[in-house]
Chain A
């Protein structure tokens, strides 16, 4: 038994707020791992992903949920994807690395990002105040994913459902990010 114990304190842990039916929640135990496809060996990597998760890696700008491993694969670039899943302890990258049997490069991104899930009827209206990308369902439908900037912060935005968005931004600026999203909701209430 070690003499000292470390306590896990993600920046927005436990945040859960309702704004007249529109909710903003910091999801618990969100694990995020980046996958890079080796140049010249992309096919092998893609096969490894399919074998690990049971689905093809979606096209760039799209995501898909997997039954196997209960995860979501987000394709961010030709050679880059993120895998998003729930895990309550460290070691997410090692786990994904093992699943892919070393056919792709993995990097742990869990603590790099902080997540906020915005859902409810005002979610699109609130995002109009900070999100430069077109969120109309024809332009950015369910499952689509994009990198953008909100209030000078880099943000990864994922449309999980019609009025549900998962927003990921840098963990060090989590308070500014939360303020940006909260202000947007309050301004349109």
Chain B
């Protein structure tokens, strides 16, 4: 197909022809074209089918506001539906397909919907698919869903990559049209750090689409020169292809930069980057959007906005047709006629809704005043128009202008409400703008060129002065203030045919009237009932006309009706861009224990604990399942010795003259009495008296403690302690610093643990029971002088130690401990065996300290010292918290020892019904005990300590399991604690 609508001029590079494919057709355009301009150049007016009625649709605008020309770009995993052809930069090999048709674009089977339109008016879902009720889910909804929607997702993982970033500036200028360029020049010349962002790939905004002069140069030339000057400044960052989509708190803006969308092969670089722009001040110079006039069959391909027709002819060298009529209610529409005629396009008629029109002679054009277009004729493209005076004029395109709406969107992102200006027949920014934002140019209602340039300069100057800059003297270049008179004319009342207001959602004037008649009179309800203003274009071309028609119907003024709320994003942002690079393995950071490498080599299976990867068990040859490994590890540890990496427990170094007093305040029990060289178990409460965290704290020196926390709460506890130190007791000399990652710490547990450690710890350190008894701690050296810390503490209930070495030696230390332990059949054990052994000992962990339980509940009521004040102490003594029949942590074993217990099962007295009213408590942790040969559990049960030996039922309706269990002591193994003191 030849480029039959290509005309002279424009800013495209005619030296560089570009080949692209639309559906099955290969076409040609030029570098600098958009997909829309190239399709128009090739005479491809029909580009898609409409949302509801599957009506033929063509290119309607030349920018991001496009409601009609939505296409699917690329294929396979890179397929992207609902892309605006007006924003797609043409490149060699581009592949686009049309959307929303069954069968070919030209012969869409679902075009039958158009014939059914009398039944498909606003709210038809709610009225039509009411009964039979059961049909909705199974029949109606699937049919509607398959018919509705525009493009289709590939259902494959996105093959592209995305990134995010952070940029900072003194002044952010949003939009690089005349006012934006002027603002950026003013700020750049004054030495401010400037970011100038524009959604287009060519900066200049409307200057590139008009024939207006600036400072004696053509608009595009002046824009080019301005951009060149800005590019030469180190303090200015130019960001084309970047849409600032949202205004957030504190001068932070969201922006999407399209990095490789315009090239065939992105070389694996991120396709788009989502920027967070931190600005001290901003100038919004987002321009204005032209609005259409609603009249019968105004949606046919070939009908487009008058400003877009100028863009195609002036910037892209493309005419929308050979016979182009202009329908306008304002002076600006006349410029389309002038510009097209100047390019040799025939304008058969100019139809102006006003009596009084500009005194401009357009060669060959017949001028109709006080007249409107009320219908178009054609099917897949407009063939003729019918005027309100009955005249039928053959055309192949119609340019329509209903006036311009300032792009106020970003001014409203923090609930600013725009104000109506009668002279413009449009809303302008009003109320409270986002902090630090000023608005300039067309976005502020300065719709003429000279005014826009002047405002860009002035608003930038105000912002710069505010920041303390001396504003460099910049002359505002000379330009004209073109005529802009406009009439408040929204739709053609004489039209008998359907007149489209929202092209993207197939909303007509009649739908808006119907909504009003049916009581949906608030503009927000109108939007939701008719769907006007929804989807990818967010009603950029339809909203104002829609609410003006609503106002007319309701007998109100437009400002009385008001607008819907504008929210981010200004234009669509792919979810992939929000995710950025966070996907797959790197969705979030992961932490490795110091012995991770050794564990990998020795068959460890890993479990995620917070961000940590911990060994859960180590599989040995011949083991058929995890239970074999876990049983072996737990048994061997109790019989001989086991080694477990416990580095993940939080470690906080606490120093200061008031460290002891500080610990007394944050722990429920006392630490000031702990001698140097000793460790104590500590319990922390929340302010409300509920248990918060537990762990051991060692006194390494008079003013030096090392606290351990649970793995899960390490950061929370540190944060809480910092708060306590800085805010609650700022007069205490206490200093905190995390050392969690600094020390590789290993539990060495079992009757042979001392024997094993003696082989590793340097001989000068006496670790005999007498010299280093249970709960001792101290500095030692290992393997010939490497500093280490030794703690005689036990989570397993066995004779046990924890030994810590600088983390860099952790992997090696794990290897050495296992090697040295070989003569004792030492085993490495993981978190599962650790869990089994702690249940056997009745030690509480996260399952028991679940944010609902008290010290009394877990059997540690006496640890809440009443001799001193601590966080949570007062509220822990509330009557409800210390009632006699409070739940208590107990052990449970199945009466039938062969049965498996279920964590989460609830306890019921033997003959009580299974309902909440009879609930006695719940099972928190269960395990198979290889040492006892049956399942055991821990759980909370009312008055548990007085019920040892009682049989209750453990019921889990979720699993459909109920069984008798016996209440026993939580200490299943070595209840007297003799082993750990041995």
A residues whose Cβ falls under 8 Å from a Cβ of B: 1-11, 34, 36, 38-40, 79-80, 90-91, 105, 107-113, 128-134, 136, 139, 151-153, 170-177, 179-180, 183-184, 187, 189
Contact = CB atoms under 8 A, between A and B. Distances in A.
Contact of A112 (B581, B738, B820): B738
Contacts of A8: 808-809, 812
B270 A187 contact: yes
B812 A9 contact: yes
Contacts of A132: 166, 276
Interface string B643-665: 00001000001011100000000
B707 to A, nearest CB: 13
A172 B592 contact: yes
A39 B164 contact: no
Interface stretch (B314-322, B334-342, B740-748, B958-966): B740-748
Contact of B741 (A91, A107, A171): A171
Contact of B589 (A11, A107, A151): A151
A146 to B, nearest CB: 13
Contacts of B820: 3-4
B581 to A, nearest CB: 6
B786 A6 contact: yes
B782 interface: yes
B806 A90 contact: yes
Q: Among B590, B733, B782, B813, which residue has the most Cβ atoms of chain A within 10 A?
A: B733
| Chain B interface residue number, banded | 35 or more
3 tightest A-B CB contacts, nearest first: A2-B784, A36-B735, A176-B589
Given A2-B783, A38-B733, A151-B589, 10 more contacts: A4-B820, A6-B812, A8-B809, A90-B787, A105-B703, A105-B735, A108-B806, A132-B166, A136-B168, A183-B586
Interface in B745-801: 759-760, 762, 782-787
A121 to B, nearest CB: 14
Interface string B547-585: 000000000000000000000000000000000011000
Contact of A187 (B269, B593, B805): B269
B168 A153 contact: no
Contacts of A91: 787
A111 B656 contact: no
B588 interface: yes
9 contacts: A9-B809, A9-B812, A34-B737, A109-B737, A133-B166, A172-B647, A176-B591, A184-B163, A187-B163
A8 to B, nearest CB: 5
A2 B166 CA distance: 53
A79 B735 contact: yes
A170 B611 CA distance: 12
Nearest to B276: A132
Given A111-B741, A187-B269, A9 B759 contact: no
A112 B740 contact: yes
A5 B56 CA distance: 79
B816 A6 contact: yes
B299 to A, nearest CB: 43
Contacts of A133: 166
A136 B269 CA distance: 25
A40 B733 contact: yes
Contacts of B703: 105
B741 A175 contact: no
B733 A107 contact: no
Contacts of A1: 784
A179 B653 CA distance: 29
B732 interface: yes
A3 to B, nearest CB: 6
Interface in B716-747: 731-733, 735, 737-743
B895 interface: no
B167 interface: yes
A96 to B, nearest CB: 13
